[in-house]
C-alpha cells in the first residue's frame, strides 16, 4: 500500500509538472509574441500574425488570406537562405513570407503535402517539388497552375537550360507549371594522385579521354584493376552513382505512347554492364548514402565519384575528401564523364490556391530570370543556377575559383556544357520514380546472382512494376 | 444479520455498473477507430490507381486470392502470397526463441532458490532494446550489419574469423531473414519477459513454498504450478505476439539499402503500406489485403482461444449458474414454507 | 543427510552460476548496440567515419549535446530539445494515464460484473485488436481532418482511452489473480462501486498497471507517425521529440554523424531514466504488493 501511494504520488507529480510545464511554456510564448517576438524563428512569428489576422479575415472575406506568401518544402536547406536573400535584396519584410517546412526526406514529402492540401483553408502559394515526383503535382490541375497565370510566360525563360523547363512541363497538355533555380548537371570526379599512379593520367583532359563513353569507362576500369594489383581499386564508388549517369542516356520514355512499359535492349544492356562492374569490382558494393559511402573517398580503394553540382560541398565530395584539411582535400578533379546527366534539383510551382500572385511572381523570377538575384544567390550559396547567362557571366568573370575540394579547378566551367546538352524532351512520365526503383532493384538482383539470366531479371522487373502500377499502365 | 445483508446485496443487480465501466472505452472507440475501420472495408471494394473511386465489388479479393489474368493480376497475387509466406516465416523465427527465452528468464528471475546478483540490473537491461524507436534500431543494425568489408560485423568476421568474403546480411535470402528475426527477438523478448514476470509474481508465493516443502524439483514446479497458473498470460502473449507478428512492419520496412526492398523480408504489412503510401497508390489492393489480414488474424486468434479455452472460468460460470438455480429453488422452498 | 543437503546446495550454486553466465551474455547483447549509440554520441563525426565502431567513449559528448540542442538557431532545422521534451512529456503522460486508467476500468467492468453484453463486448475488443494498424491510421487521420481536429493534441491523447490490447492484458491479469470475493466484501461494507474500483480494484492491479504504464509510455513517446500526420501545419512549437529527431535525420545536408547520434540519444534518454526509476518502484514492488490468497 505504501508503495502504491508512492507510485501514484510520483505519477501525479509527473503529470502535474508536465501540465504545468506545458501550460507555462504556452503562456510564455503567447506573452512574448504579444509584445515583441524575440525568437529568431520566422515560423512562430508568422503564426502569431496569422492569428491576429483571423479577426480581420472575417470582415474582409477571403482577400485577407493573400497577405502572406506560403511556401511548402520538405526541409529548409534551400528555402531559408532563399527567403533571407530575397528579403535582403528586394526590401520585403521576412514576415511577408511563411515557410511550411515538413522536415522529411524528399520522397516522403508528397504524402504530407497531400495531407496539408486536403484542408481547403490551408494557405499555399508556392510548392517545392523534387524532380522525381514533380509530375504528380505538375500534371494535377487542382494542385498547381501554369506559370503564365502568375504572369511569367515561357518566353521569359529564354536563358534557362532547356531540360529544366522540360521537367517543369505537364505531360498531359504541355503547359509550363514549374521551374527550377538550379541546374543539377553532374560530372565524374576523381583523385588526381591515384589516376596518376595507376593510369598515368596527368590532366583532366587525359582523364576525360579515359572515360569519354561507356566502353572506354569499362576498359579503364579493367586497366585500373590490373594496375592496382592487390589494392583492387574501383573506378567508381557505387553502382547507384553509375546508374544516375546511365539513366540519362536512355533515348525513350519508360512508358510508350500505348501506355505500356518499355523493356528494351537498353535495359538488358545496362543489366549486363552493371553486372560486369559489380562482379569485377569496378564499383564497390557499398550503397549510395550508406555510412561507408563517403569514407571511400579517402580509402584509396576508389578512384572516383559521380557528383552533381550540389554535391561538391559537404553533401558529398568535400566530406569524401575528409573535409577541409582532409587527406585528399584539394586533390580531386572533375571531368564530364561518359554521359551528360542531371541528378536531383528542386522545382518551384505556383499553387492553384496562390492568392499572392505578385509576390509569388517576384520570388520565382528573382532566382531564375532576375540576373541580379540569380547571381547573388549563386555567389552566396555556391549553387549552379539554371540561368545559363548568369552562369556564363560568373565563369567569365573568373572571380569564382571553383569548389575548394578541387584544388583550383572551376567545375562550373566543366559542367556548363553538360547542362546545355541534357535532353529530357518526351522522356518523362509520372511513373519514373516507381519504375526506376524496380529496375535498379532487379538489376542489382541480377548482378548478385539472384536471377540466372538477364531475361529472368527483366521478367522480375516487369512483374514488380505490374504489381506497383497495375491500373496506371496498360498490361497484356 | 450478516446473511440478510448478503442476501440484500445479492438481490441488487450490479449489471448496470458493468455497462458504465466499459462505456468510455466504447464511446472513444466508436468515435476514433470504427470509422477508419469501416473506411478500410469500404476502400477494399473500390478500384486502384487511376480507377480509385470506382466500385469494383469483390474484384480486388478475387485478384489477390486467385490471380488469374494478365501480368498485373498475376503479379498482385504472387506478391501477396509471397508476403504472407515471409510474414509467417519471420513470425515463427522470432516468436519461438522469444517466448522460450522470456519464459526461461521469467522463471529464473522469480525463482527464490537461485542466487542471482543484480536481478534488477538484468531486468532493466533486458528491457532496454524495447525503449529505442524502431527507426533508430533499424538504422543502428543497418550500420552494424553493413554488407561490405567496411561494415563493423563483416570486418570483424573477415579480420578475426578469417572469412574470405563479406557476408551479405542485407539481401541474402536466409541471412537477411535471420537478421530480422534476431532484431525482432532482441527488441521484444524483454517486453514479453516483464509481462510474464508480472504474472508469475501475481501467483501467491505460498503455492511455491508448498511445492517446495513437498519436495518438488524446479521442473515440476514449473510444469505443475507456474505454467498452469500462467496460462492466461501465456495466451495473452501468444495472441498479442501473433497479432504483432502478422502485422510486423517497421523492421522489415526499414531494413533495406536505400529504396531497394529485399523481396524476402517484405511482409504483408509492408505490402499494405507500400500500396497505400505511394506516389502512385493502389488503395483497393491495400485495403483488400488489410481485410484479408484481418480475417486471417481473427481465425488464428479464435483458434488460439479455442486451444486455450479458460476451462476454470467456464466451470466456475457453470457453478454460479447452478448455485443461482439452487438458491432460487431454496428461496422458493423458503417462501413456499411460509 | 548432511551430504544430501550439501549436494543440493552445490547443485543450486552450480545452477546459479550457469544462470548468471547466460544472463551476462544476454545483457551484453542487449546493451551493446545501445552502448554503441551512446559512444557514437560522444564522438566527432570524422572519428566515426574514419574508425567505424568503437566501444570507448570519445571526448565530444558535451560538445555534441551543445551543438544539437542549439541546432534550431541556425534557422534551417526545426530542433529544440526543450520544446520537444515539453510536448512529448505532455502528450505521453496524458495518454499513458488515460490508457492505464480506462483500460483497468474496462477490464474491471468486464470481469467483476456479470452482464449480458460482457461477452460480446469482450469479443469486440478482441476483434479490434486484430485490425491491422497500417491502413486504419490513414482513415483515422482523414477523419480527424474532417472534424477539424488536426493541428491539435486531442487525436494524440483522447484515443488512448480505447486501448484494446491493454484491456485484454488487464482482463487476463485479473482473471488469473483477482479475488472477486473482495468486491462483495466491500459491498457489504457499503462502499460504492466506483469507489471500490478506485480503492480496491486499482491497487490490486498494480503490477499489471505498472507494466502497461511503462509500455504505453514508451509506445507514446516513440510514436512518430501519428503526430507527424496530425500536426499538419508544422508549427515548430507543437513538435514532439521524434519529429525533432526526424528533422535532423532526414536532412541530407547535415551530415555530422555525432550530432545525428546525439539526437537519437537525447530522445531516448528521458525514457531510459524514467524506466529505470519506475522499474524499481513498480516492478520490484510487485512482490510485496501482489501477495494474495
Q: Which residue has the cell 517486453?
A: B191
Residue A124 grid coordinates: 499555399
Nearest CA in chain B to C217: B131
Q: How confident is the model at residue B199 (pLDDT cuts 50, 70, 90)?
A: confident
* Partner-chain contact A115 C229, CB within 8 Å: yes
Q: What is the mean pLDDT of chain A?
A: 84
The domain tally of chain B equals: 1
Task: Concatenate the DSSP letters of all residues of A31-76 into one string.
Answer: HHHHS----S-HHHHHHHHHHHHHHHHHHHGGGGGGGSEEEEES-H
Closest CA to B284 of B100, B80, B139: B80
Is A314's Cβ below 8 Å from some Cβ in C?
yes
User: What tens digit of pLDDT does each residue of C56-115 get?
Assistant: 888 888 888 888 877 766 556 778 888 899 999 999 999 999 999 999 999 999 998 888
pLDDT of residue A16: 47
pLDDT of residue C173: 83
pLDDT of residue A48: 40
Q: Which of B201, B273, B286 sits opposite C286 (nearest CB)?
A: B201
User: Which chains sit next to C, with 3 or more Cβ pairs under 8 A?
Assistant: A, B
Task: Concatenate the DSSP letters of all residues of B293-318 into one string.
Answer: HHHHHHHHHHHHHHHT--HHHHHHHH
Is A327's Cβ below 8 Å from some Cβ in C?
no
Please determine, for the modelled complex, whether the ipTM score is greater than 0.90.
Answer: no
CATH of residue C250's domain is 1.10.3720.10
Domain A186-342+431-468 CATH (choose: 3.20.20.70, 3.40.190.10, 3.40.50.10480, 3.40.50.1100): 3.40.190.10
Res. A206: pLDDT tops 90: yes
User: What tens digit of pLDDT does each residue of B54-108 get?
Assistant: 899 999 999 999 988 899 999 999 999 999 999 999 999 998 999 899 989 988 8
Q: How confident is the model at residue B332 (pLDDT cuts 50, 70, 90)?
A: low
Fold match between A66-183+344-397 and A186-342+431-468?
Answer: yes
**In chain B, which residues have their Cβ closer than 8 Å to the Cβ of C158?**
28, 32
Closest CA to A165 of A174, A136, A173: A174
Buried b (16+ CB within 10 A) or exposed e, B151-177: bbbbbebbeeeeeeebbbbbbbeebbb
Contact C255, C48 (CB under 8 A): no
β-bridge mates for residue B46, sequence order: B55
* Partner-chain contact B198 C208, CB within 8 Å: yes
Q: How confident is the model at residue A55 (pLDDT cuts 50, 70, 90)?
A: very low
What is the total residue count of chain B?
338
Question: Using alpha carbons only, what angle is made at residue A246 by residues A244 and A251, rounded to the nearest 5 degrees?
Answer: 120
* Partner-chain contact B277 A289, CB within 8 Å: no
Contact A180, A168 (CB under 8 A): yes
- How many angstroms separate the CA atoms of C256 and A314, rounded? 10
User: What tens digit of pLDDT does each residue of A85-97 get?
Assistant: 999 999 999 989 9
Lowest mean pLDDT of A465-469, B201-205, B212-216, name the range.
B201-205
Position C68 in a domain = no
Position B13 in a domain = no
**In chain C, which residues have their Cβ closer than 8 Å to the Cβ of B125?**
27, 30-31
* Partner-chain contact A118 C145, CB within 8 Å: yes
Is B338's Cβ below 8 Å from some Cβ in C?
no
Res. C245: pLDDT tops 70: yes
Is A107's Cβ below 8 Å from some Cβ in C?
no
Buried b (16+ CB within 10 A) or exposed e, A169-182: bbeeeebbbbbbbb
**In chain A, which residues have their Cβ closer than 8 Å to the Cβ of B260?**
287, 437, 440-441, 444
DSSP SS3 for A232: coil
Report the share of chain B in percent with pLDDT over 70. Answer: 88
* Partner-chain contact B151 A292, CB within 8 Å: yes
CATH of residue B124's domain is 1.10.3720.10
Choose the most confident range, by mean pLDDT, from A174-188, B234-248, C205-219, C270-284: A174-188
- The answer on C161 and C194 residing in a single domain is yes
* Partner-chain contact B240 C165, CB within 8 Å: yes
Position C228 in a domain = yes
Question: Using alpha carbons only, what angle is made at residue C79 by residues C76 and C85, rounded to the nearest 5 degrees?
Answer: 165
Position B152 in a domain = yes
β-bridge mates for residue A69, sequence order: A97
Report the share of chain A in percent with pLDDT over 90. Answer: 55
* Partner-chain contact A463 B71, CB within 8 Å: yes
Nearest CA in chain C to B296: C130
> Which residue range is the domain that position B132 belongs to?
67-322
Interface test with C, best of B17, B160, B289, B311 (most C CBs within 10 A): B17
* Partner-chain contact C90 A18, CB within 8 Å: yes
* Partner-chain contact B287 C135, CB within 8 Å: yes
Residue B222 grid coordinates: 514449473
Nearest CA in chain B to A439: B260
pLDDT of residue C124: 86
- The answer on C183 and C143 residing in a single domain is yes
Buried b (16+ CB within 10 A) or exposed e, A414-447: bbbebbeebebeebbbbbbbbbebbbbbbbbbbb
Spell out the domain ranges in chain A.
66-183+344-397, 186-342+431-468
Torsion of CA A39, A42, A48, A51, to 10 degrees: -170
Is C238's Cβ below 8 Å from some Cβ in A?
no
User: What tens digit of pLDDT does each residue of B311-320 get?
Assistant: 556 666 667 6
How near does any CA of chain B get to the CA of C235, in Å? 23
Under CATH, to which class is A66-183+344-397 assigned? alpha beta
Is A104's Cβ below 8 Å from some Cβ in B?
no
Is B243's Cβ below 8 Å from some Cβ in C?
yes
Position C90 in a domain = yes
How near does any CA of chain C get to the CA of A30, in Å? 11
Q: Which of A81, A116, A322 sits opposite C232 (nearest CB)?
A: A116
Is A116's Cβ below 8 Å from some Cβ in C?
yes
Is C275's Cβ below 8 Å from some Cβ in B?
yes
Nearest CA in chain C to A6: C281
Contact C164, B30 (CB under 8 A): no
Q: Which of A133, A467, A472 sits opposite B79 (nearest CB)?
A: A467
Q: Which residue has the cell 514508451?
A: C218
Position C209 in a domain = yes
**In chain B, which residues have their Cβ closer than 8 Å to the Cβ of A475?**
70-72
Is A115's Cβ below 8 Å from some Cβ in C?
yes
Position B82 in a domain = yes
Interface test with C, best of B40, B117, B128, B229 (most C CBs within 10 A): B128
User: Does residue B9 or residue C285 have the better pLDDT?
Assistant: B9
> Which residue range is the domain that position C19 belongs to?
2-61
- How many angstroms separate the CA atoms of A357 and A63, rounded? 12
* Partner-chain contact B125 C27, CB within 8 Å: yes
User: Does residue C1 or residue C175 have the better pLDDT?
Assistant: C175
Angle separating helix axes B268-276 and B283-307, nearest 10 degrees: 150
What is the total residue count of chain C?
293
Is A133's Cβ below 8 Å from some Cβ in B?
yes
Tell the burial category of C4 from Cβ atoms under 10 Å away from its Cβ (0-12, 13-18, 19+).
exposed
How near does any CA of chain B get to the CA of A264, in Å? 18
User: Which chains sit next to A, with 3 or more Cβ pairs under 8 A?
Assistant: B, C
Position C255 in a domain = yes
Q: What is the mean pLDDT of chain B?
A: 83
Contact A439, A461 (CB under 8 A): yes
- The answer on C154 and C242 residing in a single domain is yes
Position C67 in a domain = no
- How many angstroms separate the CA atoms of C206 and C203, rounded? 5
Res. A312: pLDDT tops 50: yes
The last residue of a domain, from among C35, C61, C87? C61
Torsion of CA B224, B227, B230, B233, to 10 degrees: -160
C contact residues 158-197, partner A, Cβ 8 Å cutoff: none
Interface test with B, best of C37, C40, C50, C131 (most B CBs within 10 A): C131
* Partner-chain contact A103 C234, CB within 8 Å: yes
Buried b (16+ CB within 10 A) or exposed e, B284-322: bbbbbbbbbbbebbbebbeeeeeeeebeeeeeeeeeeee
User: Does residue A300 or residue B3 have the better pLDDT?
Assistant: A300
Res. A18: pLDDT tops 50: no
Nearest CA in chain B to C140: B36
Position C272 in a domain = yes
User: How far is the CA of A33 from the CAs of A28, A86, B296, in angstroms?
Assistant: 8, 25, 54
Is A441's Cβ below 8 Å from some Cβ in B?
yes
Cα-only R_g, chain B: 27
* Partner-chain contact A476 B71, CB within 8 Å: yes
A contact residues 361-420, partner B, Cβ 8 Å cutoff: none
- The answer on C222 and C175 residing in a single domain is yes
- The answer on C199 and C139 residing in a single domain is yes
Is B301's Cβ below 8 Å from some Cβ in C?
yes
β-bridge mates for residue A332, sequence order: A191
User: What tens digit of pLDDT does each residue of A436-451 get?
Assistant: 999 999 999 999 999 9
Task: Concatenate the DSSP letters of all residues of chain C into one string.
Answer: -HHHHHHHHHHHHHHHHHHHHHHHHHHHHHHHHHHHHHHHHTS-HHHHHHH---SS--S-HHHHHHHHHTGGGGSSS---HHHHHHHHHHHHHHHHHHHHHHHHHHHHHHHH---TTHHHHHHHHHHHHTS-HHHHHHHHHHHHHHTT-TTSSHHHHGGGG--HHHHHHHHHHHHHH--THHHHHHHHTT--HHHHIIIIIHHHTHHHHHHHHHHHHHHHHH--HHHHHH-TT--GGG--HHHHHHHHHT-TT---HHHHHHHHHHHHHHHHHHHHHHIIIIITTHHHHT---
Contact A143, A352 (CB under 8 A): yes
Lowest mean pLDDT of A344-358, A399-413, B20-34, C1-15, name the range.
C1-15
Is C50's Cβ below 8 Å from some Cβ in A?
yes
Diameter of chain B measured on Cα atoms: 97
Lowest mean pLDDT of A245-249, B187-191, B320-324, C22-26, name the range.
B320-324
Mean per-residue pLDDT, C255-264 = 82
Amino acid at each position: 500500500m505504501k508503495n502504491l501511494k508512492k507510485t501514484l504520488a510520483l505519477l501525479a507529480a509527473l503529470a502535474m509538472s508536465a501540465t504545468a510545464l506545458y501550460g507555462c511554456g504556452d503562456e510564455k510564448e503567447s506573452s512574448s509574441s504579444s509584445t515583441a517576438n524575440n525568437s529568431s524563428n520566422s515560423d512562430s512569428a508568422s503564426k502569431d500574425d496569422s492569428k491576429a489576422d483571423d479577426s480581420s479575415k472575417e470582415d474582409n472575406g477571403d482577400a485577407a488570406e493573400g497577405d502572406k506568401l506560403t511556401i511548402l518544402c520538405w526541409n529548409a536547406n534551400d528555402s531559408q537562405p532563399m527567403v533571407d536573400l530575397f528579403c535582403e535584396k528586394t526590401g520585403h519584410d521576412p514576415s511577408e513570407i511563411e515557410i511550411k517546412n515538413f522536415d522529411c526526406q524528399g520522397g516522403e514529402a508528397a504524402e504530407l503535402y497531400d495531407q496539408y492540401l486536403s484542408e481547403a483553408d490551408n494557405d499555399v502559394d508556392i510548392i517545392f517539388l523534387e524532380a522525381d515526383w514533380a509530375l504528380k503535382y505538375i500534371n494535377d490541375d487542382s494542385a498547381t497552375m501554369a506559370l503564365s497565370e502568375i504572369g511569367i510566360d515561357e518566353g521569359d525563360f529564354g536563358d534557362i537550360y532547356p531540360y529544366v523547363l522540360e521537367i517543369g512541363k505537364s505531360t498531359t497538355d504541355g503547359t509550363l507549371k514549374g521551374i527550377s533555380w538550379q541546374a543539377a548537371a553532374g560530372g565524374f570526379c576523381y583523385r588526381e594522385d591515384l589516376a596518376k599512379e595507376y593510369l598515368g593520367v596527368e590532366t583532366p583532359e587525359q582523364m576525360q579521354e579515359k572515360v569519354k563513353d561507356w566502353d572506354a569507362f569499362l576498359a579503364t576500369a579493367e586497366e585500373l584493376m590490373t594496375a592496382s594489383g592487390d589494392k583492387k581499386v574501383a573506378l567508381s564508388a557505387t553502382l547507384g552513382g553509375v546508374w544516375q549517369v546511365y539513366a540519362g542516356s536512355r533515348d525513350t520514355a519508360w512508358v510508350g505512347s500505348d501506355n505500356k512499359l518499355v523493356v528494351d535492349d537498353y535495359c538488358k544492356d545496362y543489366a549486363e554492364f552493371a553486372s560486369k562492374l559489380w562482379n569485377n569490382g569496378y564499383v564497390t558494393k557499398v550503397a549510395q548514402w550508406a555510412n561507408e559511402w563517403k569514407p571511400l573517398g579517402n580509402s584509396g580503394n576508389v578512384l572516383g565519384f559521380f557528383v552533381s553540382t550540389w554535391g561538391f560541398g559537404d553533401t558529398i565530395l568535400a566530406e569524401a575528401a575528409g573535409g577541409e584539411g582532409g587527406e585528399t582535400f584539394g586533390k580531386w578533379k572533375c571531368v564530364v564523364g561518359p554521359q551528360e546527366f542531371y541528378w536531383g534539383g528542386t522545382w518551384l510551382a505556383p499553387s492553384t490556391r496562390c492568392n499572392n500572385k505578385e509576390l509569388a511572381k517576384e520570388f520565382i523570377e528573382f532566382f531564375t530570370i532576375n540576373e541580379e538575384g540569380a547571381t547573388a544567390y549563386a555567389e552566396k550559396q555556391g549553387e549552379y543556377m539554371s540561368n545559363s547567362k548568369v552562369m556564363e557571366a560568373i565563369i567569365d568573370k573568373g572571380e569564382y575559383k571553383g569548389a575548394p575540394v578541387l584544388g583550383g579547378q572551376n567545375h562550373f566551367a566543366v559542367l556548363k556544357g553538360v547542362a546545355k546538352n541534357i535532353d529530357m524532351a518526351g522522356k518523362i512520365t509520372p511513373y519514373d520514380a516507381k519504375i526506376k526503383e524496380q529496375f535498379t532493384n532487379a538489376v542489382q538482383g541480377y548482378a548478385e546472382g539472384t536471377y540466372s539470366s538477364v531475361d529472368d531479371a527483366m521478367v522480375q522487373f516487369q512483374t514488380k512494376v505490374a504489381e506497383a502500377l497495375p491500373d496506371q499502365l496498360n498490361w497484356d | 444479520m450478516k446473511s440478510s445483508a448478503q442476501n440484500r446485496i445479492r438481490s441488487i443487480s450490479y449489471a448496470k455498473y458493468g455497462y458504465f465501466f466499459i462505456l468510455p472505452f466504447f464511446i472513444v472507440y466508436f468515435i476514433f477507430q470504427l470509422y477508419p475501420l469501416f473506411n478500410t472495408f469500404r476502400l477494399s471494394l473500390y478500384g486502384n490507381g487511376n480507377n480509385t473511386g470506382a466500385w469494383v465489388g469483390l474484384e480486388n479479393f478475387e485478384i489477390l486470392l486467385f490471380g488469374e489474368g494478365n501480368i498485373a493480376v498475376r503479379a498482385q497475387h504472387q506478391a501477396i502470397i509471397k508476403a504472407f509466406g515471409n510474414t509467417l516465416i519471420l513470425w515463427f523465427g522470432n516468436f519461438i526463441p522469444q517466448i522460450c527465452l522470456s519464459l526461461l528468464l521469467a522463471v529464473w528471475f522469480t525463482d527464490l532458490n537461485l542466487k542471482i546478483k543484480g536481478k534488477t540490473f538484468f531486468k532493466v537491461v533486458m528491457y532496454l532494446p524495447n525503449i529505442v524507436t524502431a527507426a533508430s534500431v533499424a538504422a543502428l543494425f543497418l550500420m552494424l550489419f553493413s554488407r561490405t568489408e567496411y561494415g563493423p560485423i563483416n570486418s570483424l568476421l573477415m579480420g578475426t574469423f578469417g572469412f574470405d568474403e563479406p557476408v551479405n546480411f542485407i539481401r541474402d535470402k536466409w541471412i537477411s531473414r535471420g537478421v530480422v528475426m534476431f532484431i525482432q527477438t532482441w527488441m521484444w523478448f524483454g517486453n514479453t519477459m516483464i509481462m510474464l514476470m508480472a504474472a508469475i509474481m501475481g501467483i501467491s508465493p505460498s503455492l511455491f513454498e508448498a511445492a517446495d516443502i513437498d519436495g518438488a524439483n524446479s521442473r515440476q514446479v514449473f510444469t505443475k504450478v507456474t505454467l498452469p497458473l500462467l496460462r492466461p498470460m501465456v495466451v495473452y502473449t501468444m495472441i498479442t505476439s501473433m497479432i504483432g507478428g502478422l502485422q510486423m512492419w517497421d523492421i522489415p520496412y526499414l531494413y533495406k539499402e536505400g529504396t531497394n526492398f529485399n523481396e524476402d523480408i517484405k511482409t504483408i504489412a509492408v505490402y499494405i503500406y507500400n500500396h497505400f503510401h505511394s506516389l502512385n497508390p493502389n488503395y483497393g489492393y491495400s485495403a483488400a489485403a488489410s481485410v484479408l489480414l484481418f480475417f486471417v488474424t481473427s481465425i488464428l486468434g479464435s483458434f488460439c482461444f479455442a486451444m486455450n479455452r479458460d476451462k476454470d472460468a467456464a466451470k466456475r460460470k457453470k457453478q454460479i449458474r447452478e448455485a443461482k438455480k439452487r438458491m432460487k429453488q431454496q428461496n422458493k422452498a423458503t417462501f413456499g414454507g411460509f | 543427510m548432511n551430504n544430501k543437503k550439501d549436494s543440493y546446495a552445490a547443485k543450486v550454486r552450480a545452477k546459479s552460476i550457469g544462470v548468471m553466465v547466460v544472463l551476462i551474455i544476454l545483457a551484453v547483447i542487449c546493451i551493446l548496440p545501445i552502448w554503441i549509440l551512446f559512444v557514437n554520441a560522444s564522438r566527432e563525426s570524422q572519428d566515426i567515419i574514419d574508425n567505424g565502431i568503437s566501444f570507448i567513449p570519445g571526448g565530444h559528448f558535451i560538445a555534441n549535446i551543445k551543438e544539437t540542442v542549439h541546432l534550431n538557431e541556425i534557422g534551417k532545422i526545426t530542433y529544440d530539445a526543450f520544446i520537444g521534451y515539453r510536448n512529448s512529456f505532455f502528450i505521453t503522460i496524458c495518454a499513458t494515464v488515460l490508457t492505464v486508467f480506462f483500460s483497468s476500468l474496462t477490464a474491471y467492468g468486464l470481469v467483476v460484473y456479470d452482464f449480458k453484453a460482457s461477452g460480446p463486448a469482450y469479443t469486440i475488443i478482441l476483434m479490434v485488436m486484430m485490425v491491422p494498424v497500417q491502413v486504419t491510421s490513414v482513415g483515422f487521420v482523414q477523419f480527424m481532418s474532417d472534424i477539424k481536429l488536426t493541428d491539435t493534441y486531442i487525436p494524440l491523447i483522447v484515443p488512448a482511452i480505447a486501448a484494446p490490447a491493454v484491456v485484454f492484458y488487464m482482463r487476463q491479469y485479473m482473471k488469473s489473480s483477482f479475488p472477486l470475493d473482495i468486491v462483495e466484501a466491500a459491498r457489504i461494507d457499503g462502499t460504492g462501486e466506483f469507489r471500490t474500483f478506485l480503492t480496491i480494484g486499482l491497487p490490486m492491479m498494480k503490477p499489471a498497471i505498472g507494466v502497461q504504464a511503462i509500455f504505453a509510455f514508451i509506445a507514446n513517446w516513440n510514436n512518430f507517425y501519428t503526430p507527424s500526420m496530425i500536426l499538419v501545419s508544422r508549427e515548430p512549437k507543437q513538435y514532439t521529440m521524434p519529429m525533432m529527431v526526424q528533422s535532423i535525420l532526414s536532412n541530407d545536408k547535415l551530415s555530422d554523424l555525432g550530432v545525428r547520434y546525439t539526437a537519437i540519444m537525447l530522445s531516448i534518454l528521458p525514457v531510459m531514466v524514467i524506466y529505470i526509476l519506475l522499474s524499481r518502484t513498480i516492478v520490484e514492488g510487485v512482490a510485496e504488493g501482489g501477495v494474495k490468497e
